[in-house]
A and B are shown apart, each in its own frame.
Chain A
Amino acid sequence: MKNIKPLFLSILLVACIFSNENLAPDQKIWNYGLPNQFGLINKEFINLDEAIRNDEFKNINALIIVKNDQLIFENYYLDQQREDLNNIDNATNILASIAIGMAIDDGYLISIETPIADLLPEYEDELSTDSLKKNITIEQLLTHRSGLSWDEIVSEDDLNGMMGTHDWVKYILEKPLDAVPGTRYNLNSGVGMILSKIIQNLTNESLSSYLDRRLFKTLEINNWIWTTDPSGTTNATNGLHLTQLDFTKIGYLMIKNGFWKDQVILSDDWIYESTNPQHQPSYSFSLGYLWFQFIEDQDNRPFNRKRTFYIPGATGYHLYINPEENLIVSIGAKNYFYGIYGPSYYLYISIMDLHRDTS
């Protein structure tokens, strides 16, 4: 008996010492909710989840839906995990747009009408090749109307050519003009590099450092990777790697008009200006300052009575912000062959269809 007694104590001690795995901390931004709390039908979202699992939308690896400040859907596919960093491709551009707004808020920049030649003295030679180049403004970069020759829709020759050089900004600014600046739309993700260099010159710190200080730390975006070009300029064309949740936070900041936990990070004037149409280059979308908007008379019009704006990353990292529905849809995908309006776009439309069913 006397041998058994200490044994009890030992067994109990062992029983009390159970493992506690180190898990990544939960996000502290949104409470969790269910679609049916907002008049939606859970079953329909479960069916949508099943469709994504069955790859009906092709290579979707993450879907997050925030509605009325609650996280009502978060799931990962194709072996993705919540903490995985993914390259958001040319959705990176939108960070350059936000940085310009912050530079204005901080007093570094007076106006987006400022010619870029005034802010990039080191590229005087490249900007001197055509007298009109010196007239290119930040506003024209933000609306893809710089007039610089660039082919990103038909081929990726210019992107690949740029990424093969030492100084990407130099490569872009060396391109000839094929339109008078401000007159013609031409999608050019390379403008992110020019904006990145402008921020660097204005603030004396790289774009990544500036946004880390001004944006990421406040939004508690602690895990990110941002590549640079070989000259050291932050790659605001396609160089940012974020988790899907952190990508979603950017949309949440926009829908909250720049407020984050009672702190103003970005002025609501800039958000209003940058997310509202500045021009309409296509029958299907209009453009703010690198933010896209749906056109009112498109099929999705019932859900766009107010402004819905979005950033469509080329490989499928899309962020849709629908203030009318108080809705953020954040989609991650790896689709290299579908273009901007590929599976991620159709996934968003399907989600809006689920809203349509209940409206």
Chain B
Amino acid sequence: MRKCFFSIYFCFFQHLIIAQQSDSLTKSKSQNLIHFLENKYIGWTTFAGFDMAPAIDHHQKQMRIDVALTYQILSLGMTYNSLLDELKQYVIFPNVHRLNAKQGGVIMGIRAFHSKWINCYFKTAFHWGQMTWEDPSTKEYTFSSKSECLKPEFEITITPKFWLQLSAKLGYQKIVNLNLPLVYSNDFSGLFYSYGLVINLGNEKY
């Protein structure tokens, strides 16, 4: 799965660079990157907000940041999230441990609908990361496990300003390969929702 995402990621950038080179026959190759960034079809979006995602028995708040490169209706970028809420419980009695979860990965999407005020996207993220039970007093890890996550989602953005948008997402996350005592992959799998702000640095206004 991870290889598949990397392949898509690589092909996407390859496609953009080739397109850019064909558009700049009269310019030196050293200026390719600058022109690549100035291409009107290419832009950047940054999402900063919160995921309310399943974690053990409840939905817990996670900080989330996405940065994506957009090309026409496609987007591809990177995403990072980290558990904010404090989940404490006995892991090895009588010691209480705190769950710490961080994940990062790639996210790709397609704009399904757009208008002056509302845009809709379908996106899929693939995360890999680390969950730990840590000692709250020393903050040292007692147990650690890598995990992987597939996260399809639907996003709506409302556009009060072109460069600043309000975003809401609804999706499903599936965690796999988690190997920690007392918690299982299914404890973190399920429907989630997100809210936050999108900063749009696109060169083309739609």
Contacts and interface: CB of A to CB of B under 8 A. Distances in A.
Given A2-B38, A26-B181, A16 B94 contact: no
Contacts of B90: 34
Contacts of A18: 102, 104, 129-130
A8 B141 contact: no
Contact of B93 (A6, A8, A12, A42): A42
Given A12-B80, A23-B144, A73 B93 contact: yes
A71 B92 contact: yes
A23 B143 contact: yes
Interface in A12-34: 12-13, 15-18, 20-21, 23, 26, 31-34
A317 B185 CA distance: 38
A49 B94 contact: yes
Interface string B24-47: 000000000010011000001010
A13 B38 contact: no
Contacts of A319: none
A246 B130 CA distance: 28
28 contacts: A1-B201, A2-B37, A4-B201, A8-B46, A9-B67, A9-B78, A11-B67, A12-B104, A18-B102, A18-B104, A20-B144, A21-B141, A21-B144, A23-B144, A26-B143, A31-B181, A32-B92, A32-B93, A32-B181, A32-B182, A34-B90, A34-B93, A35-B93, A42-B94, A49-B94, A73-B94, A74-B93, A75-B95
Contact of B67 (A12, A32, A34): A12
Interface residues of B, number: 29
A16 B93 contact: no
Contacts of B65: 12, 15
Nearest to B90: A34
A16 B80 contact: yes
Contacts of B104: 12, 15-18
A76 to B, nearest CB: 10
B110 interface: no
B105 interface: yes
Contacts of B34: 2
Nearest to A43: B94
Nearest to A64: B92
Contacts of B92: 32, 71, 74-75
B111 interface: no
